[in-house]
């Protein structure tokens, strides 16, 4: 798999009773494919996988595979702070036929660097699907070192990293030391362009949930050498990106999608609706970008 371009970190739509809305999930996937999205990422942070059962997770993967029907890539989040659980989920999604697996660093346990490298390696050794490492210390309380990323980049089954530390110095160092065929994609919409300028190949994006065409155009403009267009889009949509993170993700993006009339439903506890003043501010930004017109 070539990890390049715009990948959406897709929300998981729910019915009002909290059950997964599979019909809406299919609609959202169609919206992404129409917008040019290169790949769908399900069961990530934005997909609220931490509040879903293993059975629900597998059903989401099955639904997404059926809806996509080979028209773009499907990446499934199969990470856990338990290596055995991550391996179990990875094997299950691998068997279902996903294009790649996204594995988050093992949160809460506070493993040392050797343990984290072994965690990813153990999974990659036992599945056929390529593995993408997910580094997001603001969420997990742990971070991969540059040396660990360098070591993981040499593994033939580990094809890239979703880099969401926000640390451009770290980004520069892994771009310098990692294997040349190891893909680095942004996990932060506000610095997609700087990461691509430092050697990144795209983004796993929250913004793409509401603006798939924009995210596709920005990443592909850069890949095609049109740096001015890529920069103009990154800067033009910066206020919207900031609005989508005024509370913890995915609270604002699901609220935005509901305000846009996409009817993606509620969040699962302990996540809940936005504070009223934040909802008002988000609505104002959506109106300014003409994503809401009433």
- 95 annotated active-site: no
Give first-to-last CA distance, the chain, whole Å: 42
CA separation for the pair 96, 128 (Å, rounded): 11
Q: Which residues pair with 132 in a beta bridge?
A: 102, 160
**Cα distances (angstroms) measured from residue 143 to each of 109, 133, 194:** 12, 11, 21
Sequence-distant (≥ 6) Cβ neighbours of residue 34 within 8 angstroms: 212
Closest to 32 (Cα-Cα) out of 193, 203, 162, 209: 209
For helices 251-259 and 276-288, the axis angle rounded to 10 degrees is: 60
Catalytic residue among 134, 216, 237, 254: 134
C-alpha triplet 68, 69, 75: angle, nearest 5°: 50
Catalytic residue among 162, 216, 237, 254: 162
The residue behind tokens 């932060």 is: 188
What region does 6 belong to: left with phi over 0, alpha with psi -120 to 50, or beta? beta
- 91 annotated active-site: no
Residues marked active site are found at 134, 162
């Amino acid at each position: 798999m070539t990890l390049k371009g715009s990948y959406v970190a897709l929300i998981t739509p729910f019915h009002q009773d909290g059950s997964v809305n599979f019909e809406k999930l299919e609609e959202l996937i169609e919206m992404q494919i129409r917008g040019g999205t290169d790949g769908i990422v399900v069961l990530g942070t934005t997909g609220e996988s931490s509040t879903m059962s293993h059975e629900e997770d597998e059903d989401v993967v099955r639904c997404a595979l059926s809806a996509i029907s080979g028209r773009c890539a499907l990446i499934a989040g199969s990470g856990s702070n338990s290596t055995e659980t991550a391996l179990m989920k990875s094997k299950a999604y691998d068997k279902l036929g996903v294009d790649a697996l996204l594995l988050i660093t093992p949160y809460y346990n506070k493993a040392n660097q050797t343990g984290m490298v072994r965690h990813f390696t153990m999974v990659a050794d036992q599945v056929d699907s390529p593995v993408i490492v997910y580094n997001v210390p603001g969420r997990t309380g742990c971070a991969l070192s540059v040396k660990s990323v360098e070591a993981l980049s040499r593994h033939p089954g580990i094809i890239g990293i979703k880099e969401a530390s926000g640390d451009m110095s770290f980004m520069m160092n892994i771009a310098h030391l990692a294997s040349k065929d190891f893909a680095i994609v942004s996990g932060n919409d506000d610095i997609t362009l700087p990461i691509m300028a430092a050697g990144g190949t795209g983004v796993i994006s929250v913004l793409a949930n509401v603006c798939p065409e924009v995210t596709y155009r920005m990443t592909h403009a850069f890949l095609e050498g049109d740096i001015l267009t890529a920069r103009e889009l990154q800067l033009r949509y910066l206020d919207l990106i900031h609005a989508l993170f005024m509370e913890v993700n995915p609270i604002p993006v699901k609220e935005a999608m509901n305000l846009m009339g996409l009817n993606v439903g509620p969040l699962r506890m302990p996540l809940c609706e936005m504070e009223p003043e934040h909802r008002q501010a988000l609505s104002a930004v959506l109106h300014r970008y003409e994503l809401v017109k009433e």
